[in-house]
Amino acid sequence: LYMGRDLLVRENGSLPPVQWRSFVPGMNRYQGEITNKAAQQQAFQTKVRTATDSPSAMATQDWSGLQAICETVLTAFH
């Protein structure tokens, strides 16, 4: 997940479970969804607003997931 461990890790140090939802025939696999997804998305929106309003806050946030995605996309065809 790209949201960052700072949002995903719960108070007890665990990660929220993934609940298997639907079967994707083309992949022959089930698709999962993080539990309490709406709250996680809201927390991510707040994180983005905080970083936008105060770029120095990014130093205390985990953006490694998004950085990895961007680096992969930007270097995929080099």
Task: Give residue limits of the domains in the chain.
Answer: 5-75
At residue 66, does pLDDT exceed 90? Answer: yes
Percentage of the chain surpassing pLDDT 90?
85
Task: Write the DSSP symbol of residue 44.
Answer: H
Average pLDDT score over the chain: 93
Which 3 state secondary structure label does DSSP give 27? coil
Q: Which two tokens stand for residue 1?
A: 């997940």
* pLDDT value at residue 77: 87
| pTM score of the predicted model | 0.79
Positive or negative, the Cα torsion across 21, 22, 27, 29? positive
Are the C-beta atoms of 7 and 47 separated by less than 8 Å? yes
Which 3 state secondary structure label does DSSP give 30? strand
Taking only the tens place, the pLDDT of each residue in 24-60 is 999 999 999 999 999 999 999 999 999 999 999 999 9
Positive or negative, the Cα torsion across 50, 65, 9, 29? positive
